[in-house]
């Protein structure tokens, strides 16, 4: 997988990130960790790690981290994979095979397709929230997805750059598939089982970010 770069966003992940990087150490692909330069604790936690690239984001936010990291990528393929360990890297090979064989622009890992899908990290609120946003995506944008918010996604770097995604926050999760659909790009899904985060606190605020996601979907629908 030498033409693949893992895009690993990390914010205050000094406990999870070193363990996760240990897990993917043997993988034959590039590993780019996206950090805020003021996040010294996370930076220090991986100072001893080899064969990784550290990229400092200019603007704040989860979306900015991903956009800036992917824009800086020089491999044909990229894959967004969180630093908290919840996205199991065992699916990377299969995602990579699928995207190449089926000539896809993107492949979305999904927790809600059987066989193989599931989550040990969901709570009732995230489960219901994701269900509702996925439904909105399917009804108003014909996305035909089963898990819009997971954002464990592999893609062609060129296709991503053509989308001109601009969301600096967690609304990135919906802007990417909606714009891919609007541009008639080819994508597929792969069932995957989500694990619990290794340690540390979650960064998503279900209420605030849920509201922002809803507003973003309305704006994208009306092309605002």
Ligand X SMILES: Nc1nc2c(ncn2[C@@H]2O[C@H](COP(=O)(O)OP(=O)(O)OP(=O)(O)O)[C@@H](O)[C@H]2O)c(=O)[nH]1
Concatenate the DSSP letters of all residues of 135-193 into one string.
HHHHHHH----S-SS---EEEEHHHHHHH-----STTHHHHHHHHHHHTT--EEEEE-E
x/- site string to ligand X, residues 1 to 40, per CB under 6 A?
--------xxx-x--------------------xxx----
The radius of gyration of the chain's CA atoms, rounded to the nearest angstrom, is 16
For Mg ion, the binding residues in 114-153 under the rule CB under 5 A are none
CA dihedral 217, 180, 11, 122 (to 10 degrees): 70
| Minimum CB distance to ligand X, residue 137 (Å) | 17
Which stretch in 76-84, 108-116, 154-162, 178-186 sits in contact with ligand X by CB under 6 A? 76-84
> Quick check: 203 binds ligand X (CB under 6 A)?
yes
- Residue nearer to Mg ion on the CB measure, 11 or 30: 11
Total residues contacting ligand X by CB under 6 A comes to 20
> Quick check: 148 binds ligand X (CB under 6 A)?
no
| Minimum CB distance to ligand X, residue 34 (Å) | 4
* Burial readout 34-69 (b: 16 or more C-beta within 10 A, e: otherwise): bbbeebeebbebbeeeeebebbebeeebbbbbbbbb
| Minimum CB distance to ligand X, residue 37 (Å) | 10
Contacted entry of ligand X, Mg ion, none for residue 147, CB cut-off 5 to 8 Å set by kind: none
Residue with tokens 């600096």: 168
Q: Which two three-digit tokens encode residue 176?
A: 């990417």
Closest of 24, 22, 33, 34 to residue 1, by C-alpha = 24
x/- site string to ligand X, residues 157 to 186, per CB under 6 A?
------------------------------
- Residue nearer to ligand X on the CB measure, 39 or 113: 39
> Quick check: 65 binds ligand X (CB under 6 A)?
yes
């Amino acid at each position: 997988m030498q033409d693949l770069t893992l895009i690993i966003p990390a914010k205050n992940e000094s406990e999870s990130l070193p363990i996760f990087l240990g897990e993917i150490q043997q993988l034959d692909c590039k590993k780019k960790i996206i950090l805020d330069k003021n996040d010294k604790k996370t930076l220090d936690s991986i100072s001893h790690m080899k064969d990784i690239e550290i990229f400092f984001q200019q603007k704040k936010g989860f979306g900015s981290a991903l956009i800036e990291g992917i824009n800086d990528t020089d491999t044909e393929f990229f894959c967004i994979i969180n630093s908290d360990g919840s996205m199991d890297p065992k699916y990377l090979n299969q995602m990579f095979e699928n995207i190449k064989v089926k000539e896809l622009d993107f492949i979305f890992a999904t927790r809600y397709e059987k066989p193989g899908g599931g989550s040990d990290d969901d709570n009732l609120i995230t489960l219901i929230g994701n269900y509702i946003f996925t439904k909105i995506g399917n009804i108003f944008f014909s996305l035909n997805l089963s898990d819009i918010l997971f954002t464990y996604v592999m893609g062609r770097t060129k296709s991503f750059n053509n989308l001109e995604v601009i969301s600096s926050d967690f609304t990135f999760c919906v802007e990417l598939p909606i714009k891919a659909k609007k541009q008639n790009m080819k994508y597929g899904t792969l069932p995957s089982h989500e694990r619990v985060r290794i340690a540390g606190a979650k960064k998503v605020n279900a209420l605030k970010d849920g509201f922002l996601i809803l507003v973003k979907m309305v704006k994208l629908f009306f092309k605002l």
